[in-house]
Chains A and B, each alone.
Chain A
């Protein structure tokens, strides 16, 4: 059985052990720099609102729990769990939609030599290039005519219809990297495309699928413009919209509450990442591929 990495597993060899130590020291040093701002955000959640803006300290001098406790009352009469449930629904459905629709499309581009594929591929890449702001209003008008405003349909339709070319392209790149002998052999054995897609290509592309799932989840979780434009009723608002309620142009903005909620909003994404990042490694191993 092969291991996953190019390096040999570190054994009892003392040289290997020093190497390992050097590696950890180096990685942690880089991490300290990279994580400094993250730690600041977490620290800020325990600072009084007045002290957050322009605060130079990494940790609060006198940590307080008021910001976090304040969230228990909800925001403007809406409980925090409403925002989180809505966001989870949106992000979860988005993941399902993107993974299914993008992998089907990518399979067609990467593995089926059909007529017109080159033109469609170019068009698909073309959709990556237009900033989404200009599509926003025509799309809004269309969804309004369909009477779908104030539902999650406009937010999810694009995910189920593979309009996010990024993910299609990502999967195409991975599928093109797979050894062709595998599916050629399957075809000679008489397997249809659906079988090859499901039993051979999908399992082998698991890293790409997981990557897409993670990105989709984070994007949907952080999406502000979509929910802002399409959702009207406060009970349907997502976390990203809820975060805006702490802001007040003219009055007192509750920066403490905002940071506390932003910190809480990080938990599901981190959990999602932690849960799925293992499969990024396991993908190749379980497939039994050399």
Chain B
């Protein structure tokens, strides 16, 4: 697993620099390490590990939440692959992740760069750009999104004036997913704030030195900003991808609770939720959850593996 490897590399780097003679410090470090992470360890063991193992077990059972789970081997998984709605949910989710995540990150980075300049009223701008994310996936979002993406509403008229007559998106099974993507992109506040915080950490003299060398803004961005914020960029790419795979709330709100019409916004967790909480098929739902976990883990592993090529930590730079 490259996750493990990555951490090993990290651990080794630290080990190498350490003077060899300090074995005692190693023992002290072990103790300190576990003491520092004892809250997480306790939380993991109490709240996460147990339920995770339970759900792994349920994935191989027929379990309606009331009768004892019945072991059925891989039946849930084979049933899943044969299920047209499951296939649909995978399609919908992939489309959503592949289109939505890059757009959201680009917008977040763009606005973060824009705001990372000392201008009058900075705080106000920052709050204003963050405002959409404060609304979250609340009911009012459902209302406003319907109002924006209906026939003859703002978006339709705006696109119409550009010669694009798409009609309303909300009622149209072919279009509603894009209104959901638009919602995700619109709520770009979280990655934006993280980018901003990352940009603040870039030492200023690097830019000054580059300016002396005559590097233009684009060069400076490419050679200084991007490498310097790469740990944060990596974090955002990883987390936004994971979140996108698990999108639930906004699909639930925008599509008026049942992820339709015609299953057009039946994202993966929405179907998982229907299976587990409406149809009481917890075994099937758990199997779905573990399929998702495997898929996202794969993406995560690839990203972690790739980060050696493009992410620069202070440890490597020196």
Contacts and interface: CB of A to CB of B under 8 A. Distances in A.
Contacts of A120: 37, 41
Contacts of B286: 134
Contacts of A76: none
A129 B127 contact: no
Contact of B148 (A20, A23, A40, A129): A40
B36 interface: yes
B105 interface: no
Given A126-B297, A273-B130, A34 B118 contact: no
Interface of B: 1, 3-4, 6-8, 10-11, 14-15, 17-18, 26, 29-34, 36-37, 39-44, 46-48, 50-52, 54-55, 58, 65, 111, 114-120, 122-123, 125-141, 143-148, 150, 152-154, 186, 190, 193-194, 196-198, 200-205, 207, 220, 225, 231-232, 234-235, 239, 242, 246, 248, 269, 272-273, 276-277, 282, 285-286, 289-290, 292-293, 296-297, 300, 313-315
Interface in A187-235: 192-193, 197, 207-208, 210-211, 214-215, 218, 221-222
Given A40-B144, A44-B140, A139 B47 contact: yes
Contacts of A281: 122, 200
A121 interface: yes
Interface stretch (A60-68, A79-87, A88-96, A169-177): A169-177
A290 interface: yes
Given A122-B3, A221-B136, 12 more contacts: A6-B207, A7-B118, A34-B131, A56-B154, A101-B43, A113-B11, A118-B10, A129-B292, A130-B55, A135-B52, A277-B130, A280-B197
A128 interface: yes
A127 B4 contact: no
Which of the listed residues A56, A134, A161, A258 has the most CB atoms from chain B within 10 Å of its own CB?
A: A134
B232 to A, nearest CB: 6
Contacts of A30: 111, 114
A222 B134 CA distance: 9
A78 interface: no
Contacts of B115: 27
Instruction: Summarize B's interface: helix, strand, loop or mixed.
Output: helix
Contact of A122 (B1, B14, B235): B1
Interface string A95-112: 000001110110111001
A168 B44 CA distance: 13
A148 interface: no
Given A161-B43, A273-B134, A36 B29 contact: no
Contact of A112 (B32, B39, B136): B32
Nearest to B207: A6
A34 B202 contact: no
Task: Assign chain A's interface to a size class.
Answer: 35 or more
A53 B300 CA distance: 41
A36 B135 CA distance: 13
B39 A158 contact: no
A193 B32 contact: yes
Given A7-B118, A207-B200, A278-B123, A104 B39 contact: yes
A50 interface: no
Which of the listed residues A104, A113, A290 has the most CB atoms from chain B within 10 Å of its own CB?
A: A113
B144 A122 contact: no
A274 B121 CA distance: 12
26 contacts: A31-B125, A34-B186, A40-B144, A44-B147, A56-B154, A104-B36, A112-B33, A113-B15, A113-B29, A114-B30, A118-B6, A128-B242, A133-B273, A158-B43, A161-B43, A169-B235, A176-B10, A176-B313, A193-B29, A193-B32, A207-B200, A208-B197, A211-B197, A218-B136, A222-B137, A262-B139
Contacts of B4: 118-119, 122
A52 interface: yes
The 6 closest A-B pairs by CB, nearest first: A161-B43, A114-B33, A118-B7, A108-B36, A207-B197, A138-B51
A113 B14 contact: yes
B15 A161 contact: no
Contact of A24 (B52, B119, B138, B314): B119
Given A26-B114, A277-B127, A129 B293 contact: yes
Contacts, number: 324
A184 B18 CA distance: 10
B146 A176 contact: no
A222 B51 contact: no
A112 B194 contact: no
A252 B137 CA distance: 23
B311 to A, nearest CB: 10
A273 B42 CA distance: 31
Contact of B276 (A109, A134, A262, A265): A134
Contacts of A178: 314
Contacts of A20: 119-120
A5 B203 CA distance: 9
Given A34-B132, A208-B197, A40 B147 contact: yes
A278 to B, nearest CB: 6
B285 A173 contact: no
B194 A211 contact: yes
Contact of A173 (B231, B297, B315): B231
A85 B220 CA distance: 48
